Amino acid sequence: MNLIEELAKLLTPGQVTANQTMREQHGRDESYHAMKLPDAVVFPESTEDVQKVLTFANEHDIAVVPFGLGTSLEGHVIPEKGGISLDFQRMNRILEFRPADFLVRVEPGVTRSQLNKELKQHGLFFTVDPGADATLGGMAATNASGTTAVRYGVMRDQVRDLTVVLPDGRIMKTGGLAAKSSSGYHLTGMFVGSEGTLGAITELTLRVYGIPEHVMAARVTFGNVKDAVDTAYEILAANVPIARVELVDAASIERMNRHSQTSYEEAPTLFLEFHGNEAGLNTDIAFVQELAEGHDCKSFQFETDSKARAQLWEARHQLAYAFKHASPGKHMILTDVCVPLSELTDAVLHARSQMDRLELFGGVLGHIGDGNFHTIIMIDTDNADEVARAEAFNALAVEHALERGGTCTGEHGVGKGKVKYQRKEHGASYDLMHQIKQLLDPRGIMNPGTIFPIE
C-alpha cells in the first residue's frame, strides 16, 4: 500500500505530504527528545476529515499523532512508530463567541494568542498561558497551565465541552454549556490530559473571563531563593486572591535581561500580579508588602503602566527561549514537578543543590503558587555524560516530589519522557488507565509510546 496515495484519495492531495522537511518539522518538539519521522503529514480541515483518517489508520494499524505547533516539552508529538502526524494548523477557526455565557468554541489549531486577540474586543480574556504560544488543542491534550492557574485554574478547569473522534471513527461531544453538571461520567476531564492517546480533539468549548477592572503587577527581589519561596507560601496561606505568583531565580533573570532587553535586578525574584477592584487590591498589596518585608526583600517594584506589565510577562513567557537562544545547538530538558505547598521550599532548595552537585547549568523558576516549579537545563545531546547527568537530576527531582505526595509533571504532561515514572506515581491506578486506553484504542494507534510504553 502506498500510504500517501491512499491518504490523498481519502482527503485531497493538498492535505497530505511526505516532504522531507515537513516530516522533520513533525519529528520532534521543543525538548531534548530524539527525532523520529512520521511517514506522512496530514492536514485535516474538519471533524469528518479526522474521522476518515482515524478510521483508515485503525483499519490498517497505522500510528496517528495529533500535532498542534510542536511546542510540547516531553516528546509528545514524536511519532515513535512513524505513521501519520495529524497537523491541525488548518483547523484554526474561532467557531462561536458566546460572550454572555463567557464561552467560546474553537477548533484545536487556534493558538492562545490568536484567541486572546479576538476576545479582547469583547472585554474578555482566556487565562491559561503556557510559555509557548501553543494551540488550544495541544493545551487541552496536556492539561497545560501557566502563570494564572493559582487564581483561575488549569486547562481542565476551562474546558466545558469537547468534540472528539475515537480511533473507531465515533464522533462524540463530551460535555455541554452549563457551568456545572452532575450528569454521567466526566469524560471531558478524562480527554483533557490524555495527550492524544485516546482519540483526537476536533472542537473545544472554553470558559473565558472578563478582563479585570484593575490589574497591578510587581517584582520583588530577595537575598536568597528561600526567602522568595517562603514569602510566596505566606501569601497563599493568608488566602490573598493573587492572580500570579512566579519565582524567577538570579540565573534566570540574567538570561531574561539578555534575551528580552530588560534590566531587572539579578536576584531571586517574585513576579506578582493582582486582579480585582482598586480598593481591594491596595489592601492586598499592602499586606503582601508586609509579608515580603518580613523576609527582608531587597526591593518591591511596581509595574503600574500596562506596557511595563506586558513586558514583564512577555519576558517571563520567553524565558525558556532565553535559555535556548543562549545555547545554540543545545537542547532543553526541563523538570516539572509539583509538590504540596508545604514542601515547596525544600523541593526548590533540593533541586538547586542537586543541580550544583551534578555540575549542571540552569535556572530555577516556576508557578510556585501551585507548588509547581521548573529547572531549565540546556544540554548537548551528543554528550552522553551530560545527558546522563541531566536525566539523573530529573529523576532525583521526580523521586523527591513523589515521596512527598507530589507529581512528576505539573503541567507539561507525560509524553515520552515521563513514562518511566508513571507506575511509581500511580500504582494500581496505572493499570486502570491502561485498561481505559485499550478500551478506546484497542489497536494502539493513538500516539504510541506516550503515557504508556510501546509493548
Shortest distance, position 448 Cβ to a second copy, whole Å = 16
> Please, are residues 352 and 252 in contact by the beta-carbon 8 Å criterion?
no
Interface residue with a second copy among 44, 366, 410, 444 (CB under 8 A) is 410
Regarding 433 and contact with a second copy (CB under 8 A), the answer is: yes
For the segment 304-343, give every residue that binds a second copy (CB under 8 A). Answer: 336, 338-342
**CB of 33 vs a second copy, minimal distance in Å:** 16
For a second copy, give the closer residue by CB, 4 or 433: 433
Contact present, 351 and 358 (Cβ < 8 Å): no
Q: Which is nearer to a second copy, 281 or 390 (CB)?
A: 281
Q: What is d(CA 107, CA 163) in angstroms, rounded to the nearest whole number?
A: 9
Binder among 159, 291, 377, 414 for a second copy (CB under 8 A): 414
Instruction: Single out the residue of 34, 95, 238, 388 in contact with a second copy (rule: CB under 8 A).
Output: 238
**CB of 163: closest distance to a second copy in angstroms?**
10
SS3 state of residue 17: strand
Q: Nearest 5 degrees, angle CA 98-CA 125-CA 153?
A: 100
Strand order in the sheet with 372-379: 299-303, 214-221, 269-276, 244-248, 362-367, 372-379, 331-335
Under rule CB under 8 A, residue 177 binds a second copy: yes
Span near a second copy by CB under 8 A; candidates 14-22, 52-60, 63-71, 421-429: 421-429
- Nearest distance, CB of residue 78 and a second copy, angstroms: 17
Classified as helix, coil or strand, 195 is: coil
CB atoms within 10 A of CB 8: 17
Single residue of 14, 405, 442, 453 touching a second copy by CB under 8 A: 405
Listed ranges 25-33, 50-58, 295-303, 418-426: which one lies at the site for a second copy (CB under 8 A): 418-426
Residues 154-159: contacts with CB within 8 Å, 24+ apart?
154/128, 154/411, 155/128, 155/192, 155/193, 156/189, 156/192, 156/193, 157/207, 158/126, 158/127, 158/128, 158/206, 158/207, 158/208, 159/188, 159/192, 159/204, 159/205, 159/206, 159/207
Site for a second copy in 243-302 (CB under 8 A): 276-284, 287
User: Does the protein bind a second copy through residue 350 (CB under 8 A)?
Assistant: no
Residue 20 CA neighbour count, 13 Å, CB half:
0
Q: Which of 21, 185, 359, 385 binds a second copy (CB under 8 A)?
A: 185
- Given a contact cutoff of 8 angstroms between Cβ atoms, the answer to whether 96 and 45 are in contact is no
Distance CA 400, CA 1 (A): 49
Distance CA 222, CA 238 (A): 20
Determine the 3-state secondary structure of 219 from DSSP. Answer: strand
- Evaluate whether 235 touches 313 at the Cβ level (below 8 Å): no
State which of residues 122, 241, 309, 346 lies at the interface with a second copy (CB under 8 A). Answer: 241
Residue 405 gets the label, from left (phi > 0), alpha (psi -120 to 50) or beta, of left
Site string for a second copy, 212-231 (x = CB under 8 A): xx------------------
For a second copy, which residue of 60, 170, 325, 357 counts as binding (CB under 8 A)? 170
| Contact flag: residue 239 with a second copy (CB under 8 A) | yes
Residue 428 Cβ, how far from a second copy at the closest point, in Å?
4
Single-letter residue type at 448: P
- We find the least distance from the C-beta atom of residue 234 to a second copy, in angstroms, to be 11
- Alpha-carbon torsion 258, 262, 268, 272, what sign? negative
Give the Å distances, CA to CA, from 192 to 166, 189, 310, 369, 394. 14, 5, 29, 22, 25
235 binds a second copy (CB under 8 A): no
| Nearer of residues 74 and 386 to a second copy, judged by Cβ | 74
CA distance 316 to 131: 8
Contact window for a second copy (CB under 8 A) among 1-9, 35-43, 93-101, 297-305: 93-101
Q: Which CB, 194 or 202, lies closer to a second copy?
A: 194
Residue choice 66, 137, 362, 371 for contact with a second copy (CB under 8 A): 371
Please give the residues from 98 up to 137 whose contact with a second copy meets the rule CB under 8 A: 98, 100-103
What number of chain residues touch a second copy (CB under 8 A)? 94
Which residue's entry shows cell 476529515? 49
Which one of 158, 354, 372, 447 is in contact with a second copy (CB under 8 A)?
372
Closest to a second copy by CB, 7 vs 451, is 451
> Is 248 within 8 Å of 239 (Cβ atoms)?
no
- In angstroms, the CA 365 to CA 378 distance is 14
Q: Looking at 34, 35, 95, 172, which residue binds a second copy (CB under 8 A)?
A: 172
Beta carbon nearer to a second copy, 173 or 325: 173
Piece of the chain touching a second copy by CB under 8 A; list 313-321, 350-358, 376-384, 433-441: 433-441
> Least separation, in Å, of the C-beta of 35 and a second copy?
23
Stretch that binds a second copy, among 12-20, 42-50, 374-382, 435-443 (CB under 8 A): 435-443
